[in-house]
Structure 1
Amino acid sequence: MEIRVLPLLPLRGILVFPYMVIHLDVGRDKSVQAIEEAMIQERVIFLATQKEAQTDDPGMEDIYRIGTVAEVKQLLKLPGGTIRVLVEGVARGRIKRYTGQEPYFKVEVEQYSEEFVKTPEVEALMRSLVHQFEQYVKLSKRIPPETVVSVVNLEEPGRLADIIASHLTLRIEDKQQVLEAVDIVKRLEKLCAIVAKELEIVELERKINIRVRKQMEKTQKEYYLREQMKAIQKELGEKDDRMAEGEEYREKIAEVKLPKEVEEKALKEVERLEKMPPMAAESTVVRNYLDWLIALPWSKSTRDRLDIKAAESILEADHYGLKEVKERILEYLAIRKLAKKMKGPILCFVGPPGVGKTSLGRSIARALERKFVRISLGGVRDEAEIRGHRRTYVGALPGRIIQGMRTAGSKNPVFLLDEIDKMSMDFRGDPSSALLEVLDPEQNNSFSDHYIEAPFDLSNVMFITTANVQHSIPRPLLDRMEVIYLSGYTEEEKVQIALRHLLPKQIKEHGLTGETISISENTIRRLIREYTRESGVRNLERSIAGLCRKAARQIVTEEVKKVRITMQNLEQFLGAPKYRYGVAEQEDQVGVTTGLAWTEMGGDTLAIEVTVYPGNGRLTLTGKLGDVMKESAQAGYSYVRSRAAELGLGGEFFDKHDIHVHVPEGAIPKDGPSAGITMACALASALTGRKVRHDIAMTGEITLRGRVLPVGGIKEKVLAAHRAGITTVLVPRDNQKDLEDVPNNIKHKLHFILVEHMDEVLEIALLEKGYHPPAELGAAGAALPEGMPYQPVIQDGEEPGTIHEHRFS
């Protein structure tokens, strides 16, 4: 063995064996300097391969320890700073240590010398290796046959192994194992195993190639025979399968009666199909396209039932209440009877969950004797869901609108677009913009789907959309629809819905009959009051289903003939009541006011509490309030401060006391302008020590000057007040017109007072002098200010239902 100090050239993705001559392109700075150093000295360099070819700046641990001592035969400098060198491997070597790393790697190398004794074992291994290599060359076709001749004549076993390894297409790891096998016997054994494995892979590749070639020959043969058969059929005047398929499509197109431009497009596609090879992938795309064109109802339509009385009876049978909606449908029928050609209306039902928006669309279709289609837009965020995909995409389909029209089978169905307020958008487009063409009466007579690529007439479709809240519907869409509000049901309406629809339906679904279960009307009424609090009837139906389940189990397990559910035993079936009927405050209190709020679930009452304690003039708001409610509280606070003198509060009072406004149920987010006057009233009560009447609820927005502005959702709020046991409701004067929407049976149970200034609210809601604030508040509120005498607006014994035109006295 010989110890030498040589410059190191790390190799990427290549390995050099002894006796191997190869060109190397060197570009890295360290490598270039190593080559230059070698040229200065004995033209000898050490070549070692990197463990990872991707490493640009390898360290000592990234380079294999065993490599090849090589001689630089030729050097050529290329443009760009790259050097091309011709090297020849001389002998194996092992890095003992690194003597330097800058400006190039310098290593102390232990050079191995090739010493061998040609034993019978070595001779046998050499013959086996040469035989395997000959077979590999014959099968792989990657190595020239002349190489075998040069290898066969080699007598040195080490050189034989190295040359064969250099010609094989192996992984760097396998070549490195051969290079590291210093012992000749181990090297020959290792290489024999590697060549045997490569032979198996090459043999498998050959079998696969033969199989593929046979399949291709079979396909070409079939194509040739088909062409011959086509020529023979043409001579005989017979049609082939493709011609027959084309004729079949032409007959279907003629039967469907497509519009002229669509028919021309379809016939062109049929011609394309006939010219395509049978195995062409695009032929399936053309067939699917033609099937869609033929299946769409271009000219099919159903005849409307124009009998208004029959339609009215169907609507009444399916739904209790909903007077405005039913009137709108009957108006449409009346116009259809007078004017034969009319565009389909686009209605938008807005209301809380469970009031029957979706089922109402089904009833409208039944009343008109039209087909009914429903699609849900909740969570749709891809424009292609509406307009479809272009046919260039794999698996392309029309959008949901065209799919719905195919399902309907007629061009004038009732088309329900559910949850239109729950659409979203992302990088794939805005589906609400795509819906504009569908829901615009001026555009939808020529709706364009990306897949169909032909105008489709949607003007005869009766589109109905549903939403829980109006503000979530995109404005351009809302502008094209006629909005009909479905507010919550009154208690009486819920009772009738339960008795007429829900109870019979659940009894039937649970395998019961009227002879096995009985639920009285009073039981239903208690169920509504104490177990469900909602605008719709969804939870009511669930509660009735729960009663039916319990009854069914009792009938099966206890073998009773009939289960009677009464007001007295209702708790045995459903447990303790969940709600307290009439949740208005039981007594007048200081700083507690009942407000009315509108939520997505309908109307609700809102208790607002205010407390005052010594501090430094800070206002605290709690109860998970939104920005609008916080601003209302600030406005009410500013109004009360501006009226401090009239309320009997000293000038320094606000600087020495903190005020805390809290809206209970702090886990529920609350927002909106409806609580402006409620907060101001609670603040005034807490500061003056005057109690608020517990039987009053109020709603309205407040300004800094004390004006009461109108708010929305009056009907829902009044229904909530009635449910809570309130007897008097304060409403902004500008909302008087909205009281007409309140059902008469509810209106006649309540007193309504119209107010337009905050002073009126305080005069009505706050009780007169006699209730003093806590002692720590000093003299605040001890005297009733002059000019604000308490005069009851509602006289004793007065009948409810009167709308009082109250003026500040």
Structure 2
Amino acid sequence: MTDNDALERDIQPDDSVLPLMSLREVVMFPRSIVPLFVGRDASIKAIESAIALHDKHIFLVTQRSPEKEKPEADELFAVGTVSRILQMLRLPDGTIKVLFEGLYRANWNILPTDPADAGDFPLVRVDRLEEVPGDAGEGDALIRAANESLEAYARSNKKLAPESLLAMAALREPGALADAVMPHLKVDFERKQRALEISDAVKRLEYVYELLLGEIEIASIEKRVKGRVKGQMEKNQREYYLNEQMKAIHKEMGREDDPAAEALELEKRLDAKIMSDESRERARKEIKKLRQMQPSSAEYTVLRNYVDWVLDLPWGVLKESELDISRSRSVLDEDHYGLEKPKERILEYIAVQSLVKTMKGPILCFVGPPGVGKTSIAKSIARAMDREFVRISLGGVRDEAEIRGHRRTYVGALPGKIIHSLRRCEFNNPVICLDEVDKMSTDFRGDPSAALLEVLDPEQNYAFNDHYLDLDYDLSKVFFITTANTLDSIPLPLRDRMEIIRLPGYLETEKLKIAKQFLLGKQREQHGLTEEQLTVSDNAVLEIIRRYTREAGVRSLEREIAALCRKAAMKIVEDKTVTTVPVTRQSVAALLGVPKFRHEQREDKSQVGVTTGLAWTQMGGELLLIEVVLMSGSGKVEITGKLGEVMQESARAALSYLRSRSDLFGLKRDFHKEIDIHVHVPEGATPKDGPSAGVALATSIVSALLNIPVRNDVAMTGEITLRGRVLPIGGLREKLLAAHRGLVGTVFIPAENEKDLKEVPEEILKDLKIVPVETVDIVLEQALECGSSNALFCGRDNISPLSDLLVKEEYQRPTH
């Protein structure tokens, strides 16, 4: 009787449907008896069912991932072992000790009627795998070779009992011998599972014999290493013994360094980090790979750099600060004069943050011309909030990887600028200033502005994924501030994610106070001067602002003040008798040279066809003189002065409005066919454009047509419609400052801009007469000089010889 015949005698006919129990890192082989401790509820229920309903028969199969508590069907190997329960013992802690006997290997399928509730064991239908005998001659040779190697293995493995060795030596079938030897080998469960799945008996024994030889070689090396270490070890020095043993092992394997010690150090750093479970598990897997690699390999350096990056980031490390709104206000006022809107917005955020504690950081975008203090106000915000400040310049960036990092498939890959900044500041809640966000470009490497969409979206940046890290990183605690000169080049989706705060520039009065409170003291200190050695009057500063600078900010003003300090230092050093250098308005030219700029002034007297308009530029407001002359011709309209399309259209709209009102002005309906109109704005080398010159253009044309002078003490701004309505404009504050500087007494503004007067300093308003208007008629009535109270009906007495051709014959001046 063969071993298979004895096994057949114990198999029952109903063994095809059995309860399934999954095993962790244990593989059950036929013809083997194994004791196991069982603690999972599903496994205990499966054992109880096998004893009660299945004649103690159960199907044992190994799960692919040992850490899974409740593995699914696809997480189990396809081949298992039908076994019999020989003995069961319940222990006090609720677990049971069970002695299993393996019967035969089999495939399995879960029955369709199996319940899906968590915790229940599955019933499976098993299909016995028949064993293939294989080549008999080769099998006999393998049996003899395996028996010889077993004796050598038994000498190195003291746990292999002599009785087990004799029992295995008596086996004469390749499959039976392979199944008996395999449970005694110290190999991982994947290799054991592979042996279980080989149905050819001879090939299975050949695979087992290969593993057996490997175990013998490992045992020999281990014995040699232990012998070497034992000779070097001192008595009762356990730590020394372990270290030397590791050194000996690495030396035997040809390694110079000790990656295990480095991996242990990295694991300690990982345990101290506050990070998500997913990120921690990913880092732990990378460290495990590092432990198994040779330090001399190129992959080791790449992997070590990645692990260092992950561990150097400030995961969850927040800088604690006292949010004192009074202190924050004083810090902002101390660093900057003016800029009320940005300061108010920051103080609002600090107030809310002190109440809710967990508010997401806002995304602010400061927009304004160069030199108005966009970046410096971001620094002050960080100081007011007691946070770290990081500046990232985006000017000229055209590679998406600058933001999101490179993927680790590239040589020399690194994270993006955002992750770099967080690693440098060592906190997860800094103030990050993304400077010049409007100057990014796009090429074949991607669109960096599109990459910023994730960074600057509070609904997405809590899980920002850098390509290099390939982990979700929380940016929601970061306070992002972006700066830009214009909004035109910023894509609309990116602009939509930011709160726009405009910094239009400083008025002359503001520049004067900035110079007195900040710039003068700073430059005196940098040039080694005291307040007594260099005195600068307010009028001198105003002279510098008006005639030596033309800017929205104060950078050029600071450079000119620095030039004054250098001149004063030269005088004091060269002439020992000079102890102080006073700077007045009259002495500025002697120190700084010929004035660089001039501002338009109002005309000395009222003139026909000359109107004073108001313009806004990035450097502030300017007076804009508009001239119109008439010539005999055929109805041509000439527009010069390098005007943009908008101003040219305003001139045509003004002319169309006047033609539609020809009856009211006493002009012939076809008056425009007999003359040419030339509209000119001086300083033709300077480009001019903007939707605020329509009223001034209309006034100049009416003045030229009726030969009535325009008052030289008035200025005006506003766009005109074909029906004569005056539309609102922007930049009112700067325009009124230009009118005040040009000694204008009266300013006509659109009625809808009257609300903007709140932002104009009181010292400017008190010297100006502001007249809000809704239609051009009101402007013409008050801006044209004539003896009547209504300028539209000043009469024919004023009309020039050329204009006389344009007036209707039946026209008579109304009496008043």
TM class by smaller structure? 0.5 to 0.7
* 1:468 and 1:600 in contact (8 A); partners too: no
One-letter identity of the residue aligned with 2:423: R
One-letter identity of the residue aligned with 2:671: F
The 2-side partners of 1:385 and 1:494 are apart by: 37
One-letter identity of the residue aligned with 2:504: S
State the Cα distance separating 1:356 from its structure 2 match. 1.4
State the Cα distance separating 1:573 from its structure 2 match. 0.2
What does 1:68-467 correspond to in 2, within 5 Å?
236-238=245-247, 240-467=257-484
One-letter identity of the residue aligned with 1:439: L
* 2:259 and 2:294 in contact (8 A); partners too: no
State the Cα distance separating 1:605 from its structure 2 match. 2.7
One-letter identity of the residue aligned with 1:538: R
State the Cα distance separating 1:725 from its structure 2 match. 2.7
Matched, 1:690 2:699: no
Match of 1:778 among 773, 790, 804: 804
* 1:432 and 1:474 in contact (8 A); partners too: yes
Matched, 1:752 2:778: no
State the Cα distance separating 1:395 from its structure 2 match. 2.2
Which whole-Å deviations, capped at 9, do the CAs of 1:43-94 have from their partners, x for residues lacking one? xxxxxxxxxxxxxxxxxxxxxxxxxxxxxxxxxxxxxxxxxxxxxxxxxxxx
Which whole-Å deviations, capped at 9, do the CAs of 1:335-372 have from their partners, x for residues lacking one? 12211111112112222222211111111111111101
1:705 aligned partner = 723
What does 1:591-740 correspond to in 2, within 5 Å?
591-740=609-758
Cα 1:231–1:467 change in 2 (3 A) is: farther
State the Cα distance separating 1:412 from its structure 2 match. 0.9
The 2-side partners of 1:354 and 1:783 are apart by: 60
TM score, norm. by length of structure 1? 0.66
One-letter identity of the residue aligned with 1:626: G
The 2-side partners of 1:385 and 1:788 are apart by: 75
Cα 1:250–1:725 change in 2 (3 A) is: farther
Cα 1:653–1:569 change in 2 (3 A) is: same
| Structure 1 spans left out of the alignment, 5+ residues | 1-224, 791-809
Which whole-Å deviations, capped at 9, do the CAs of 1:756-791 have from their partners, x for residues lacking one? 22222222222224884653443457999889999x
* 1:389 and 1:451 in contact (8 A); partners too: yes
* 2:399 and 2:442 in contact (8 A); partners too: yes
Cα 1:404–1:283 change in 2 (3 A) is: same
Aligned residues: 564
* 1:614 and 1:658 in contact (8 A); partners too: yes
The 2-side partners of 1:299 and 1:289 are apart by: 19
SS of equivalent to 2:342: helix
Cα 1:736–1:567 change in 2 (3 A) is: closer
SS of equivalent to 1:595: strand
1:500 aligned partner = 517
* 2:600 and 2:624 in contact (8 A); partners too: no
The 1-side partners of 2:301 and 2:643 are apart by: 59
State the Cα distance separating 1:379 from its structure 2 match. 2.4
SS of equivalent to 1:583: coil
SS of equivalent to 2:392: strand
Cα 1:498–1:787 change in 2 (3 A) is: farther
Cα 1:533–1:773 change in 2 (3 A) is: farther
2:529 aligned partner = 512
SS of equivalent to 1:256: coil
TM score, norm. by length of structure 2? 0.65
* 1:421 and 1:473 in contact (8 A); partners too: yes
Which whole-Å deviations, capped at 9, do the CAs of 1:640-679 have from their partners, x for residues lacking one? 2222232233334311221122222223322221122222
State the Cα distance separating 1:506 from its structure 2 match. 0.8
SS of equivalent to 2:432: strand
Which whole-Å deviations, capped at 9, do the CAs of 1:511-564 have from their partners, x for residues lacking one? 222243222233223322332333322221111011111112222333333322
The 2-side partners of 1:671 and 1:432 are apart by: 29
* 2:643 and 2:687 in contact (8 A); partners too: yes
Cα 1:741–1:566 change in 2 (3 A) is: closer
RMSD between aligned residues: 2.8
One-letter identity of the residue aligned with 2:780: L
> Sequence identity of aligned pairs in percent?
55
SS of equivalent to 1:730: strand
1:488 aligned partner = 505
The 1-side partners of 2:386 and 2:225 are apart by: 54
Cα 1:788–1:253 change in 2 (3 A) is: farther
Matched, 1:473 2:490: yes
* 1:385 and 1:400 in contact (8 A); partners too: yes
Greater displacement, 546-555 / 514-523: 514-523
State the Cα distance separating 1:702 from its structure 2 match. 1.5
Match of 2:546 among 509, 529, 535: 529
The 2-side partners of 1:670 and 1:236 are apart by: 84
The 1-side partners of 2:583 and 2:658 are apart by: 53
* 1:621 and 1:662 in contact (8 A); partners too: yes
The 2-side partners of 1:441 and 1:787 are apart by: 69
Which whole-Å deviations, capped at 9, do the CAs of 1:426-456 have from their partners, x for residues lacking one? 3322222211111111111111111121111
Cα 1:250–1:775 change in 2 (3 A) is: same
2:581 aligned partner = 563
* 1:648 and 1:784 in contact (8 A); partners too: no
The 2-side partners of 1:727 and 1:252 are apart by: 73
The 1-side partners of 2:451 and 2:814 are apart by: 59
* 1:621 and 1:661 in contact (8 A); partners too: yes
The 1-side partners of 2:808 and 2:318 are apart by: 78
Cα 1:336–1:787 change in 2 (3 A) is: farther
One-letter identity of the residue aligned with 2:763: N
SS of equivalent to 1:654: helix
2:125 aligned partner = none
Cα 1:366–1:592 change in 2 (3 A) is: same
Which whole-Å deviations, capped at 9, do the CAs of 1:568-623 have from their partners, x for residues lacking one? 32211012333446722222222222222233333333222222212221112222
Cα 1:788–1:365 change in 2 (3 A) is: farther
Cα 1:350–1:616 change in 2 (3 A) is: same
The 1-side partners of 2:574 and 2:806 are apart by: 68
SS of equivalent to 2:288: helix
* 1:763 and 1:788 in contact (8 A); partners too: no
One-letter identity of the residue aligned with 1:236: Q
SS of equivalent to 1:487: coil
The 2-side partners of 1:281 and 1:789 are apart by: 101
Cα 1:579–1:296 change in 2 (3 A) is: same
The 1-side partners of 2:688 and 2:397 are apart by: 27
Cα 1:737–1:339 change in 2 (3 A) is: same
The 2-side partners of 1:569 and 1:608 are apart by: 34
